[in-house]
Structure 1
Amino acid sequence: MEELLTPAEMARADAAAIAAGIPGIVLMEAAGRAVARAAMRRFRPVPTLVLAGPGNNGGDGWVAARLLEQAGWPVAVACLAAPRPGSDAALAAVRWRGPVVPFSLAEPARAGLVIDAVFGAGLSRPVDGLAAEVLRAVRCPILAVDVPSGVDGATGAVPGFAPQAVATVTFFRRKPGHLLFPGRGLCGETVLADIGLPAAVLPAIAPRAWRNGPWLWRIPRPAAVSHKYARGHVAVAAGPGMTGAARLVAGGARRAGAGLLTIAAPDAATAAVLRSGAPGVIVAEDRAALLADGRIGTWVIGPGLPPDATTRATLREAVAAGRQVVADAGALRAAADDPAALRGCAVLTPHAGEFAAIFGPPGDDRPGAIRAAAAATGAVVVLKGADTLIAAPDGRLAINDNAPPWLATGGTGDVLAGIVAAMLAQGMPAFEAAAAAVHLHGAAAGRAGPGLLAEDLESVIPELLATYWLD
């Protein structure tokens, strides 16, 4: 159940199920039952106010109100607007026999729990006016239906106001907005409920987005007869100043399975510094010879490099030589306002500032922006952040949600670039390699715990790697 459906795709799933003979009211009853169950599992019976909108989201709220009232809860419903006559929501409202109170600022003060069933994930405008005022007035816990009202289910954006929920109940499949900030932060705990929609509706919808995890990829297990050359040779272009960046790349790549790792030093003095590091790392000074060596199939270019003409030239030469290139840091900054300079790379790993400098600000629709960037460059694009997105040129999208906040520290992006390179070197396709690397990176940070330093990731990766191996 890790496909992610946009609100439009979810509407198609609902329509397909109804066309196949499942009445809409049956789905609505199941959804409302899931909301009532979530409330009863998390809260004791308290005065509960259901804020119901005019659509199907509101209909789910009417059902939840009825079931909670039948369980002995004191429940009232405040309706923003009447459901459309003849709709499933109207039928659900008719079945409610309890109190209906005004949709006003006074009502939330009387409640110990508010169920937000005002607007669902498909809302295409900001929540404002009376709806926003009433939701702002809530001072007790909120249980949201589908998404907190005002969160865009496709992007996680909040163009107006959205309340903070302690939990959100959604149905059949998550939406991108459940994993993307700021929406993800407003959802609280996300509960995914089965309401009887058959998975058989998915092939016709053909989802192109997933929650990132091993259901999308598996890391190849080394064969019994594997040798270091079979596991791939990765090269890292080092700069004359920030040699630590190249070392972090090297550590990530080696720990993630690369058979050989060479650092290409720009001069003798830098090479001397780098040779004082890990003994298993090869250090060489003839970058042209390394680029000509067909046995070195994967390069990481950018960490510790200045965003200058030399870096751009190195990038062009590696691409022209047919190497798999992971472009990061200085290589990305050298391509500011020039996405074409990155064509031919296998994977790009920008953070938000680097992405904006190359492609322009992503705006509220980050899934759309990163897909466009991948299509424009022909590279897999990894937009790093608390909710890292990975997009392929063909439109596939993975959203990662396992990274802890302490991963936000200097040098961790260099380690990620190394892990990506190791996955490429071992033969994984670029999209799967990038997605696997991002997930392993987040899992390693979680295992390391608070107080993480970038160099701590190296020692934790081996503990996790075998759990991802392809059987």
Structure 2
Amino acid sequence: MLFGTEILTTAQMRAIESAAMDGGELPGLTLMERAGAAVAGHIRLQWPKPGHATILCGPGNNGGDGYVIARLLAKVGWRLRVLGLDNIPGSDAGDAKRRWQEIGPILPLTLATLRESPVNSIHVDAIFGTGLSRPPQDEIAVLLRHLSHLTRHENTPLVAVDCPSGLCMDSGRWLGGDTDPPSPLAATLTIGFDSPKPGHLLASGPAACGRLIIADIGLRPWRERRTRQADLYAIWPRFPVHDRRAEPIRSVLPRMLGKGVAAGQPQDAHKYRYGHALIVGGAAGQDGAARLAARAAIRSGAGLVTLGLPDDITGHGRQGPDALMLRNIGNAEALQNLLTDRRITALCLGPGCGLRRAADLLPTAMNARLPCVLDADALSALAQNPDWVGQLPDHCVLTPHEGEFARLFPDISRRMKKPARHGPAYSRIDAVREAASHCNAVVLLKGPDSVIGAPDGRAWVHSAFDIPWLATAGSGDVLAGLITGLLARDLPVLEAAGIGCLLHAYAARLFGPGLIADDLPELLPRVYREFGL
């Protein structure tokens, strides 16, 4: 069940390009011409009046794309300075270079010539593409440091071809260790080809790429001929992907949700048909997080939501919505007794629960044989009992932020934080896949680049880089409750986590700056209407 756009690693992209070029079905020079034409076309859309451009061409095929861009812009009146290396590139890039030399010169790709560019020049980065595996060296590294200064401190417009040079496109990390500090670029516009790469969405990628456009260069038939099914998707790209293989989200969500608000109510409909979610909260005065989760669960479309509180339930008062059920859950035995009710279809443990209480209830939740979201205090309790981490059932969803992830999976977290001295660098996708395999559960690593991984290796990336106001107290509790509500409605675990991320972020986008977590559940009905549900 797909509701996003396929992401390709750099190795997968190279394999598809090679398959297309083998036998001459789609010559490499044709691909290069299409790529260059796509970039030149988007430059003209962004800056309709021809101006001045400085095009920086590297030693390989990315440089070849740059020479094509130069030739096409020159035809429509742009004033150009083309900087390149005194080398003989591969045959396709060599042909593109010779075609440009028939109409214009190539200046040395050096810091001195870059400094001579007019102050109003648009710069086009066609130095290194997606295949870069080591940090830029020597003169190119010095040049990129200056280009970084121009883009970050002097507002120089930069168009990146495929990716900003120096960025690992499998991880979104800048390549360079302690002795070779990276020179992070800040592109105005990045034109990628065929499919987004992980680096476009992860870590430093979104900030480095600026506005990201994925251009179709005719590789779809070879991509679809692959025998191995794709296992990595962007579930809600923050950029427009004009791609027929990604079904419109408005048509996919009703089929995925399938019940409740997503479909016509059958004549025998009743609340238990649409699931019963149980949210376990903590003591009075500390139960706000659990209430946020419960409100999100009931707004998700679950037929019934119960908030389970300690024995001093009268101390909690009657805080809305009134549709929530309240039950006493004083200890693990009480939780076990309540879970004998087979009408309960999903459980959330952690938000506002308290560490001691979460540790007491966690074994019961793990053995409950029903979908379970572990968040907040439940994750802290799990981290204090590392033997439990490898005993989780496959119907569990863990929703850690980076600090919680580091406590749960310390070795994986340390590897993720090591300097990216070469590519492909270890990425958040790698880390989440490894963590999911280790604990046999779905892991949702939260952040502006949330990654969701399943034990079988499937992974989804959700880029919310453009919603900084979503980083507000309680928003994670709302996400946990929303996923629990979707699980209660019998969605598969990975899909519930992915759709929960999507709805959560879309609600935040609708509200805009000034958002607090309490606003998110109340926006869900509007989100459903926006999707035609």
The aligned residue for residue 258 of structure 2 is 220
The aligned residue for residue 282 of structure 1 is 325
Q: Displacement, 1:36?
A: 1.1
The aligned residue for residue 421 of structure 2 is none
Q: TM-score, normalised by structure 2?
A: 0.84
The aligned residue for residue 289 of structure 2 is 245
Q: Which amino acid aligns with 1:157?
A: R
Distance change in 2, residues 1:401/1:41 (3 Å): same
- Where 2:326 maps in the other structure, the secondary structure is strand
Distance 1:108 1:26 in 2: 29
- Where 1:292 maps in the other structure, the secondary structure is coil
Distance 1:397 1:27 in 2: 29
Contact conserved, 1:17 with 1:198, CA < 8 A, in 2? no
Distance change in 2, residues 1:216/1:399 (3 Å): farther
Distance 1:341 1:114 in 2: 53
Structure 1 residue 153 and structure 2 residue 169: aligned? yes
Q: Displacement, 1:83?
A: 4.1
| 1:58 paired residue among 33, 52, 63 | 63
423-432 or 151-160, which deviates more: 151-160
Distance change in 2, residues 1:367/1:238 (3 Å): same
Distance 1:340 1:174 in 2: 38
Q: Which amino acid aligns with 2:360?
A: A
Give matches, 1:20-419, under 5 Å.
21-43=25-47, 44-80=49-85, 82-85=87-90, 87-97=91-101, 98-109=104-115, 110-111=117-118, 112-138=121-147, 139=150, 140-159=156-175, 160-204=182-226, 206-213=229-236, 214=249, 218-222=256-260, 223-225=264-266, 226-240=269-283, 241-268=285-312, 270-286=313-329, 287-288=334-335, 289-308=337-356, 310-336=357-383, 338=385, 340-342=387-389, 343-344=392-393, 346-360=396-410, 361=413, 362-363=416-417, 364-402=426-464, 404-419=467-482
Structure 2 residues not aligned, in runs of 5+: 151-155, 176-181, 237-248, 418-425
Distance change in 2, residues 1:104/1:42 (3 Å): same
Distance 1:38 1:74 in 2: 17
Distance 1:296 1:39 in 2: 55
The aligned residue for residue 448 of structure 1 is 511
Distance change in 2, residues 1:337/1:321 (3 Å): closer
Structure 1 residue 19 and structure 2 residue 22: aligned? yes
Q: Which amino acid aligns with 1:162?
A: P
Distance 1:338 1:396 in 2: 27
206-215 or 324-333, which deviates more: 206-215
Distance change in 2, residues 1:81/1:233 (3 Å): farther
Distance change in 2, residues 1:157/1:101 (3 Å): same
| 2:498 paired residue among 414, 429, 435 | 435
Q: Displacement, 1:99?
A: 1.4
- Where 1:143 maps in the other structure, the secondary structure is strand
Structure 1 residues not aligned, in runs of 5+: none
Distance 1:185 1:366 in 2: 16
Distance 1:339 1:195 in 2: 48
Distance 1:275 1:83 in 2: 76
Distance 2:184 2:319 in 1: 54
Q: Displacement, 1:23?
A: 0.4
Q: Displacement, 1:272?
A: 3.4
Aligned residues, how many?
A: 467
Q: CA RMSD in A?
A: 2.0
